[in-house]
Chain A
Amino acid sequence: MELIVFVLASAMVLSGAIGVVLFKNPVHAALGLVLTLFGVAVHFVSMEAHFLAAVQVIVYAGAIVVLFLFVIMLLGVDRAEDLSIEPLKLQRPAAIVLGAGVTVLVAGAVVRGADTLGSESSAAAPGDSNIRALARSLYSDHVLAFELTSVLLIVAVAGTVVLTRRLKKSEG
């Protein structure tokens, strides 16, 4: 059962990810990203991390990709772009090198940490104790980082508003 869920969810994640890279149309690529995020949410559920799964769907699929789609639709870039024109000459080789590097790093981390993760499981914990534990650590041990993140977001919003208002003045 666990294996079936794992295989199906991984197939979702991988096909979504491949779709993001290969689709010519940006809207289809964004939908591929949604598929990937859903697959990750299924993985979370199968590991009993219900809260993370819900947040994954609400925040990533429900807010972030919707904003991506908004930008794609409003800027009118929802057509297949000509990929042969290269604005930055070095970006393809650099991307290959960086991608390979990240793959090696992640693979190394998984191989080295494989035996430390095996016995850890929260599956025995009943009900919403998972959520309580998460809330406790978020609002006690990591409260400073949490608050700083919210300040960062407020600053970003305020900055965006200021920048767009300036633009309007110079036009008018």
Chain B
Amino acid sequence: MTAMLPIPAVDPVLDTESWWWEPLAIVGLKVLVVFVIGLVGTMFMVWFERKIVAGMQNRIGPDKAGPFGLLQTLADGIKLFFKEDLIPERSDRFVFKLAPFLAFVPAFLIWSVIPLGGDFSDGRDGTVEWFGQITRVQLADPPVGVLLVLALSSIAVYGVMLAGWSSGSKYPLLGSVRASAQMISYEAALGLSLATVLMAAGTLSTSGIVVAQDRLTDWHLLSTGVVPFVVFLIAMTAELNRPPFDLVEAEQEIVGGFHTEYSSIRFALFFLAEFMNVISMSALLVTLFLGGPQPLLIGSFDLFAVLGPFGGTAWLLLKVFLFLYVYVWFRATLPRLRYDQLMDLGWKVLIPVALGWFLLLAALQLGRDNDLSQVSYVALVILCLIVLGLGYLLFTAAISVARRNRDREGAAY
């Protein structure tokens, strides 16, 4: 064999010189497992949400199909498959058929870069050995890791946008314009809070980010201050169009939003994509801020030590589960935001806070890298706070001036 093909180093298993069935079988198996976990997880999530919301509203919820109603989602899915597939007469047929896939595929692909387990203890890099091959418990570990997730979530905008436009009717169009404006606005806050994590970890790769969170104090939730985590959680909820940010499908105003005209399996794809996104973005949040498969040690006691090599996966599932519950809780308790409140929160609160915090952490990182003495480090912190304070004053002044101008002109909003 002469020149080896330059396969991107996304998986150590592909770096071997001898290409035989084992690496391919491992990669194929991982693809299958990730796909099945995604689908089963989504099925479970739909049931979980209905059950928890029912509990919070003092109802029983699904309880007929299977034990505890667990198979309800499966029954609904089969029902949706056999329903008539309607395509509106005034729709753009090709784009109408394309849009559900554009929503669904990115939701799945995010799973491919999430580390699902592996041995990260004591600074190990999470590789495991299967059948004599070294690999990761993660479908792919591209060098751009987290950027891939951002790219995918920006592709997901197309699904919503084109679905609304191609339906050829006004409510879906209104819903999709709302949705894309919302997703684009909150992507900025999302990216800025993510940048603080990338700066703290010093890498873009998701497994590298997990490795960087070795001890509890290194978890980015704590090491970046709690602010980026909160911003990320809110921006992510808005990005997913979940309540209280579900103006996209505000049924009192615009019927069902962008998927009003969709029926049968095409609607099911949008539905699946939404729940899939909830799970995969929760997994991303856990990876970025809570150490992914890293165990939460109490002293040196690991709760899932009995599971051996699957302990990391158990920890990941537990943490993801926590956030899934938080999402359902949001939905059950918070009223929907008004459109101007939504935009105010995104542009006037989240983006400035995320940006200011990012600048502060960048200055601190610079001080640490240059080995400043104690005194000059404190001086640096004070200087940063003064600059940020001035920025805040300017910002509030600008807002109040804008508000006064708007009142004077009598602009209608």
* Residues of A close to B95: CB separation below 8 A: 27-28, 31
A79-128 with Cβ < 8 A to chain B: 123, 126-128
Interface string of B139-181 (1 = CB under 8 A from A): 0001110011011001101100110010000000100010010
CB distance from B261 to the nearest CB of A (A): 16
Interface string of B72-87 (1 = CB under 8 A from A): 0000000000000000
Stretch in B4-12, B26-34, B60-68, B337-345 touching the partner = B4-12
* Residues of A close to B157: CB separation below 8 A: 62, 66
Q: Please state if A131 and B204 are interface contacts (CB–CB under 8 Å).
A: yes
Whose C-beta in chain B lies nearest to the C-beta of A121? Answer: B6
Q: Please state if A58 and B147 are interface contacts (CB–CB under 8 Å).
A: yes
Instruction: Knowing A2-B6, A50-B143, A61-B154 are in contact, say whether A69-B411 is a contact too (CB < 8 A).
Output: no
Instruction: Knowing A62-B155, A66-B161, A169-B409 are in contact, say whether A55-B147 is a contact too (CB < 8 A).
Output: yes
Instruction: Knowing A31-B95, A50-B142 are in contact, say whether A126-B158 is a contact too (CB < 8 A).
Output: no
The answer to the question of B410 belonging to the interface, with a C-beta cut-off of 8 Å to chain A, is yes
Whose C-beta in chain A lies nearest to the C-beta of B148? Answer: A54
**Chain A interface residue count: which class?**
35 or more
The answer to the question of A73 belonging to the interface, with a C-beta cut-off of 8 Å to chain B, is yes
B357-373 with Cβ < 8 A to chain A: none
CB distance from A165 to the nearest CB of B (A): 8
The answer to the question of A70 belonging to the interface, with a C-beta cut-off of 8 Å to chain B, is yes
* Residues of B close to A28: CB separation below 8 A: 94-95
In the docked arrangement, what's the CA distance between A137 and B7, Å? 26
* Residues of A close to B165: CB separation below 8 A: 27, 69, 73, 78
CB distance from A164 to the nearest CB of B (A): 11
* Residues of A close to B386: CB separation below 8 A: none
A19-66 with Cβ < 8 A to chain B: 25, 27-28, 31, 34, 45-46, 48, 50-51, 53-55, 57-58, 61-63, 66
New A-B pairs, 9, CB < 8 Å, besides A25-B92, A62-B151, A73-B177: A28-B95, A57-B155, A58-B147, A66-B158, A69-B161, A127-B143, A127-B205, A172-B409, A172-B411
- B interface residues, Cβ below 8 angstroms from A: 5-6, 8-9, 92, 94-95, 142-144, 147-148, 150-151, 154-155, 157-158, 161-162, 165, 173, 177, 180, 184, 203-205, 409-411
8 tightest Cβ-Cβ pairs between the two chains A and B: A62-B154, A54-B147, A57-B151, A123-B6, A128-B143, A54-B144, A50-B144, A1-B5
- A interface residues, Cβ below 8 angstroms from B: 1-2, 25, 27-28, 31, 34, 45-46, 48, 50-51, 53-55, 57-58, 61-63, 66, 69-70, 73-74, 78, 123, 126-128, 130-131, 168-169, 172
Q: List 19 A-B contacts (CB under 8 A).
A: A28-B95, A31-B95, A46-B6, A48-B6, A55-B147, A57-B154, A58-B151, A61-B154, A62-B150, A66-B157, A69-B165, A73-B161, A123-B6, A127-B205, A128-B143, A128-B203, A168-B409, A172-B409, A172-B410
